[in-house]
Structure 1
Amino acid sequence: MAIIKPFKATRPTRDKAAVATSRSYDEYSKKELKAHLRFNPFSFLHIIKPGYDTEPELSGEERFKLVHQTYNQFKTEDIYRKDQKSQYYLHEKSFGGDTFWGIIAAAHVNDYKNNIIKKHEDTLKAREELFGNYLGIAGFNAEPVLLTYPESNYLNRLYRKYSQKRSEYEFMTQNRRLHKLWVIEDDLDIDNIEKEFQKMKAIYIADGHHRTASSSFLANQKKTMNKNHTGEENYNYFMSYLISDANLKISSFNRFVKDLNGLTKEEFLSKLNELYIVENKGEKLYTPSKKHHFTMYLDGEYYSLYLRKTEFPINNALSDLDTHIIYKTILKPILGIEDLKTDPRIKCLPAIYSKKQLKKMVDSKMYKVSFGLFPVSVEQLKAVVNEDLRMPPKSTYIEPKLRSGLTIFEIND
């Protein structure tokens, strides 16, 4: 039984929603960030990067405290207001022919601890503690964790009902993403949504493993400090965006390697041939068409790589993943890549950036060889989780990506 609750969001006033919200901080280049901070006084980035022109070197707790102060200043200036009633928020994002929608709500950390909210990635303790401390001092969470649930007829009907109404927000971003948000304040709808999630035996983390783990870390910390702890305090919850698994879109990460680990081109192709059916496709763009089928770009030409399954048995959910297969058969044994997170010889980039990404990065001489992978399916993701396994790093690039500062969950309320 999943505990998914309404909450009192702090959010931009209707007239400022388009200019106040932002992409995730890490997505901005230094040049973009500087421009937004200089020319948009309403941007949520001012809260995340406070004192950019007066206190640029602030870090750690001092910076976290300034984040908290700037956030309160935005409320004082009526850029952000807090809702007076606990509500759910229905959000829709559309671009390029795709439409995503989901419910913004508060999820309970106990469901994460008890494996009702399931994970497919491991987290780093140091990052959990760092972001947990940040949450505790800043006092709010502004980026929801992306959770996915089994298809629900009731929630589908609810979406259709609200999408016919005038939305509270409707705005287009500079990268041509259309956002809409409806406030679900009807008591009957609120009650039915909560009951619908209570029927669900499991919900899966699609994106935001460290945010979830950090919220759990903070809740444990605050629980030990609160003699009157009940389990219902805001610190026991984290903001989440719940989307049907049928509405989720998963893309792949391409792999780029700087050298052939001392091998000649001929030696490298020979080693590949032991585990793959290798076919030269020439200079014409070529992409993988199904799982266990890879594209490689090397020395000005595309190659098709089909896994010889007799040489690499598929015996569990992890071994069925292309990200695991390419690591175990090529990246580690042939190219000497031990750790995808730390090895400077490899880079992983979302395949959605460019169809010609494999070619461009290698032709630029930055990398010697590149590999294109077929996207992981939702079924594969769930299978890994249900077998209590973990995906390799950079296995999934998941849409939708959400705006920071669209809704804010106050932890210390």
Structure 2
Amino acid sequence: MADILPIRAWRYNDAKAADLEDLSAPLFDVVSKAQREQLYKNPYNSIHLSVPLGPNPAANALKKLNEWKAEEVIKLDTVPGIYVYYQYFKLHGENKEYVRKGFICNIRIYDWDDKENINSPDAILRHENTIPDAVNDRIELLEATEIQASPTHGLYSDKEYQLEKYMDEAIQHPIAETEDYQGVKDVLGVIHDYDIIKKFVEVLKTRAVILADGHHRYEGALSYYKKRKAENPNHDGSEPYNFHMMYLTNIESDDLRILPTHRLISGLQSFDKEEILEKAAEWFIIKPVDNAFDIGEVILGKPWAFGLVFKNQTVKIRLKPEMIDKIEWKFPDIVKKLDLTVLHYFFIEKVLGIPGKEQRKSPNITFERNFTSCINSVTTGQAQCALITQELSVEDVKKVCYSGYTLPQKSTYFYPKTVSGFLFGSLKENEFYTTPRISF
């Protein structure tokens, strides 16, 4: 089960860099080109550590990090703490204000492939595959800097809500408050009380954690851990490289939201709309839709239903019920019957001809959360077609994780995203621990 520690964080020094709103940045896998260009103009913005510039970005990040330490742009906590992180937000078309409650800590890394460690399969569960190139980028950055610029996002289950009262109290005395690029209000508090921190540690020791967001960063940290462990003949499990910075939220909360991630198809040779529709008719019921912008409502709530948007035509495709048992991928039923499995098997493999084993690395498949951007990409010719999906439920994520299998990459978009720059987690021995060490 999960093993957590409070975090001794590097944080921006108010005396040197006071406006945290100008220093935070979107996560590396969602920050747009336009956002990057703007954020790079600020020499102290956290993007210089999370998505560094130059022909040797990892080396540039290390140089920048050392400069910030020397100039006291960032300062190291004297004692570790549990950082409470609340995000206040609204969803499009709704007036209700949600608040996602969670906390940032260090969590022990678990190796999914380590079958000798009986805790390994149960401590941290993944729900989707990753894209290899993005993982390699994270490994290089972590090896060079030994710093974590943003937490991954994990989910734990606590139906008794044992920790919320401590978080609610801490957030009444915020140490940072900003409005981020999503229009979300981010509020940060901290808990230093030993007995309360110990309560957090004890609660998580009885829980498994589902990795919700940050699979690439987690796998980068896992690879770094394996390398450092292999190099250390005196490895005892207490070294900083055994841990990873994570934002943990209670999966039982009503304020946990997952938005759909759509698929864009481009660069396929001999792409022919009529041929694609003819092939799709073998597997799907196809119905025309007059307005592409209505497709989200047309498919809403219907199992195995998707929007297929071409430049001059939009249709709803819905799998014929009798076809579901024809999936040959060796998955349990809970995974086979998910919308995204149906989409990737019957349409992307069977209709478009991209085999499942090649889909992770395929340059022909890109991902886009914004519905309007999908439509625009098709109408402007940047994409050959768009596949509009529906959101995945939290219950489905749970079931997939507990089955031991994973979803296709980019299956979920937990909203809102955390931001980079509130905390930096070091993996250096003299920065990770205080002297003497505090035991939890």
Q: Are 1:46 and 2:57 matched, yes or no?
A: no
Task: Sort the Cα spacing of 1:130 and 1:41 in 2 relative to 1 into closer, same or farther, 3 A.
Answer: closer
Residue 278 of structure 1: CA displacement? 2.0
Q: Which whole-Å CA distance do the structure 2 matches of 1:407 and 1:297 have between them?
A: 41
SS in structure 2 opposite 1:285?
helix
Question: What pairs up with 1:181-330 in 2 under 5 angstroms?
Answer: 181-200=188-207, 202-245=208-251, 246=253, 247-258=255-266, 262=270, 265-283=273-291, 285-287=294-296, 288-290=299-301, 291-298=303-310, 300-313=312-325, 316-330=333-347
State the 1:330 CA deviation: 1.6
The aligned residue for residue 167 of structure 2 is 159
Q: 1:303 to 1:259 in 2, by over 3 A?
A: farther
122 and 167 in structure 1: CA distance in 2 versus 1, 3 angstrom threshold:
same
Compute the displacement of 1:92 (Å): 1.2
Does the CA-based 8 Å contact 1:260-1:268 persist in structure 2?
A: no
Q: How far is 1:174 from its partner?
A: 4.6
What is residue 382 of structure 2 aligned with on the other side? 366
Q: List alignment gaps of at least 5 residues for structure 2.
A: 91-96, 115-119, 430-440
Find out whether 1:393 has 2:409 as its counterpart. yes
Query: Root-mean-square deviation (CA), in Å?
Result: 2.7
**What CA deviation, in whole Å up to 9, does each residue of 1:124-157 have, x standing for no partner?**
6776565334323312111211111113411233
Q: What is the deviation of 1:26?
A: 4.6
Whether the 8 Å CA contact 2:46–2:149 is kept in 1: the answer is no
Matched, 1:87 2:90: no
1:348 — aligned with what? Answer: 367
Decide whether the 8 Å contact of 1:255 with 1:371 is kept in 2: yes
Is residue 2:341 matched to residue 1:332? no
Post-superposition offset of 1:259: 8.0
TM-score for the superposition, normalised by structure 2: 0.82
Q: Tell me the SS of whatever aligns to 2:100.
A: strand
Secondary structure in structure 1 of the residue aligned to 2:158 = coil
Amino acid at match of 1:41: P
Is 1:105 equivalent to 2:112 in the alignment? Answer: no
Q: Distance in 1 between matches of 2:246 and 2:282?
A: 46
Q: Specify the alignment match of 2:436 in structure 1.
A: none
Q: Which stretch has the larger CA shift, 370-379 or 10-19?
A: 10-19
Deviation at 1:406, TM superposition (A): 1.2
Q: Report how far residue 297 of structure 1 moved.
A: 2.4
Choose which of 1, 8, 20 in structure 2 pairs with 1:17: 20
Shift of 1:122: 3.9
Task: Assess, with a 3 A threshold, how the Cα gap between structure 1 residues 282 and 69 changes in structure 2: closer, same or farther.
Answer: closer
Structure 1 residue 238: Cα displacement? 0.6
- 2:394 paired residue among 378, 400, 405: 378
Number of residues of Structure 1 aligned to a counterpart in Structure 2: 399
Partner of residue 33, structure 1: 36
Q: Deviations over 1:41-77 (max 9, x none)?
A: 3212334566x5xxx43x2xxx534422321321232
Identity %: 23
SS in 1 for 2:323: coil
In 1, Cα distance between the equivalents of 2:24 and 2:378? 36
Is the 8 Å Cα contact of residues 255 and 346 (structure 1) preserved in structure 2? Answer: yes
Hey, what's the Cα distance between the residues in 1 that align with 2:51 and 2:129? 28
Q: Deviations over 1:202-245 (max 9, x none)?
A: 21111122322222222233233334432112111010111122
Determine helix, strand or coil for the equivalent of 1:286. helix
Rate the CA distance shift 1:334–1:189 in 2: closer, same or farther, 3 A. same
TM value normalised by structure 1: 0.86
Measure how far apart 1:183 and its partner are.
0.6
Instruction: Work out whether 1:141 is the aligned partner of 2:148.
Output: yes
